[in-house]
Amino acid sequence: MPETLSALSADLAAGRIRSEALTEAAVARARDPDGEGARVFVAHAGDRALAAARASDALRAAGAARSPLEGLPISVKDLFDIAGETTRAGSVVLSDAPPAARHATIVARLIAAGAVLVGRTNMTEFAYSGLGLNPHYGTPLNPYDRATGRIPGGSSSGAAVSVTDGMAAAAIGTDTGGSVRIPAALCGLAGFKPTARRVPARGTLPLSTSLDSIGPLAPSVACCALLDAVLSGDEREAPEPADLRGLRLAVPTTLVLDGVDETVGAAFRAALSALSAAGAVVTEIAVPEFAGLARINTHGGLPGAEAWAWHRALIARDGARYDPRVRLRIERGAAMVAADYVDVLHARTAWIADVERRIAPFDALVLPTVPVVAPPLAPLVADDGLYGAANVLILRNPTLINFLDGCALSVPCHAPGTAPVGLMIAGAGGTDRRILAIGMAVETALAATR
């Protein structure tokens, strides 16, 4: 597991390492021809990153460190505007688009906090898949079982591998239907999807404006909390770990456990046992609304309509250059009429209210982030049907929380040396700090059993 942000920050503060050396090491790993860097990054910050690191070292030496992120190398997904650069969203279609005139809000906040941006990470084209495949720039391989060659998860694929492989201390991604939590779960990291409105999306290329959220992938929940505070502008003290004793955790039995493979099932059951042993009250509950979501999204749902609205002119002009699998999903939104879209908006409001009433007696939901371990890449490249089925299954659980307008963490719950498995801890919208506090406690309880 990579070092935590707090450990790296302590090393910098004590003078045991300099940001320049930390950044040089990250850049070297990214440029190693024998590594995944060529598929992880679509653009390197290069000399600008090293210059920023040297400036950070000078500020720290002068006693003017700007935040706990000071001098730490961070990667950002290729959806965020960086002034003077073209945001391509993992596509070749936008290669000739004009460079951004100013930073995205979250980029500006990271820079103001002293983070060193090391590059833009690869992703599923236009963020429209949970698998992480990209035919234009390649697909970075999952750090687990590279001999087989497994998917990293998506759409924030490069973000996850940039952290696991030491090319960045942490990464910033987006999550519309699981695109932070899925790669975090499949690659053995912590990943946090905040309530969508918590982090400003200005300067972020959209997939679905109703569902898009921005969050971190990092070595630990505490790292995610630190990054979330910067991204959201939350100036309060970081939340303290919750007390698991008496904490009420609900395990939904509707839909989310269907199709769980043997590895995920065993890791999930072991995690629940560990939480019960730590004093949490774990209760199974039916959430019939989860089973009704497919009906609400019959015509493609919010992503279909909102992605088509953004892409229709671009597809008309340059559709042949899209990843065909991504283009197919976007074009399905063309069949939705305005009344269908309004129906989904109204149904979502009622659905959220029903789910929130059902989960109100509990402190959080716990469920597998993804019901299967990372599948091999090659069969998904070769078979459209297999790709589609895997995409639906892997997106299924995380998508529920996006539609809820909720917040959620994915925390590793697998045994060391085994395939990564994520435990999702989720809550209603606006409970972000509480979910982060619970996540820290859960992480500690699970670590004690390994």
Q: Which of 388, 408, 413, 390 is nearest to 398 (CA)?
A: 408
Residue 43's Cβ-side half-sphere holds a number of Cα atoms within 13 Å equal to 21
The answer to whether 3 touches 219, Cβ cutoff 8 Å, is yes
CA distance 385 to 222: 39
Would you call 316 helix, strand, or coil by DSSP? helix
Cα 263 to the center of its chain, rounded Å: 22
Q: Which of 313, 359, 363, 352 is nearest to 334 (CA)?
A: 313
Outline where 233-361 has alpha helix (H).
Answer: 262-277, 288-296, 301-318, 324-332, 338-359
* Catalytic residue (one of 19, 56, 75, 77): 77
CA distance 167 to 24: 10
* Catalytic residue (one of 9, 75, 91, 155): 155
CA distance 168 to 285: 39
CA distance 426 to 251: 10
3-state helix, strand, coil in the chain (%, to 5): 45, 15, 40
Q: Is 77 a catalytic residue?
A: yes
Q: Is 19 a catalytic residue?
A: no
| Interhelix angle 221-232/5-14, nearest 10 degrees | 80
Is residue 370 classed exposed, middle or buried when 0-12, 13-18 and 19+ CB atoms within 10 A define those classes? buried
CA distance 390 to 392: 6
* Catalytic residue (one of 156, 179, 208, 410): 179
Length of the chain in residues, anyone?
450
Q: Is 155 a catalytic residue?
A: yes
Is residue 84 classed exposed, middle or buried when 0-12, 13-18 and 19+ CB atoms within 10 A define those classes? exposed
Would you call 406 helix, strand, or coil by DSSP? coil
The residues that bridge with 364 in the sheet, in sequence order, are 249
Catalytic residue ranges: 77, 155, 179
